[in-house]
Amino acid sequence: MKLKDYIEEIPDFPVKGILFKDISPLIANYQAMSYVKASFLDIIKSYHVDYIGGIDARGFLFSTLLADALGVGSFMIRKEGKLPGKVITKEYSLEYGTSKMSIRQNINLKNRNIILVDDLLATGGTLRCGEELVNNKEGNVLFSLTVIELVKLNGHKNLNSKVYSLVKYND
């Protein structure tokens, strides 16, 4: 399966100079999604996992899929202002600006093994923020998973835990 065939590159989105990797063709294709799911599960298979943490918003496309396959729960790490109730919030920087993400305060992640999932690793700022939010709740991030990695941005260097990606872009 050539996953790159299912990723559309869109120049200057959402701002000039960014080559946006759009996964719409991938999620529209059952075989491609099935392949992504199986590949992620193959990486996870030897670990004991308690929760999958999905990153707003495209991470959610994969987090519940994996949680269901593993028979575990998932939780959302969301952009600021999207989660109701009491939240913990952290600021982070990304390829095109800065932002804030939050996690619900009442989720119990203490000593739980967690895998974070997003569609793409660029600078690593987003997943790093996810790691910090989980650590704040005394959870243990085993590693992160992304469909795509922009290798030149060296995002993995920003992370405390390992990240596995399925498709690497070197340009």
Q: Which residues bind ligand AMP (CB under 6 A)?
A: 18-21, 55, 58, 94-95, 118-126, 155
Burial 142-157 (b: 16+ CB within 10 A, else e): bebbbbbbbeebebbe
C-alpha–C-alpha distance, residues 36 and 39, integer Å? 5
Nearer to ligand AMP, 98 or 106 (CB): 98
Q: How far is the CB of 123 from ligand AMP (least distance, A)?
A: 3
Question: Measured between alpha carbons, how far is 46 from 13 in angstroms, rounded to an integer?
Answer: 38
131 labelled catalytic: no
* 18 vs 107 by CB, closer to ligand AMP: 18
Among residues 8, 9, 95, 138, the one annotated as catalytic is 95
Examine the residue annotation and report whether 149 is marked as an active-site residue of this protein: no
Please report how close the Cβ of residue 102 comes to ligand AMP at its closest, in angstroms. 15
Whole-angstrom distance, CA of residue 11 vs CA of residue 19: 4
Query: What are the distances in angstroms from CA 16 to CA 11, 41, 155?
Result: 8, 36, 21
Kindly tell me which of 58 and 137 has the beta carbon lying closer to ligand AMP: 58
Q: Which residues are catalytic?
A: 58, 95
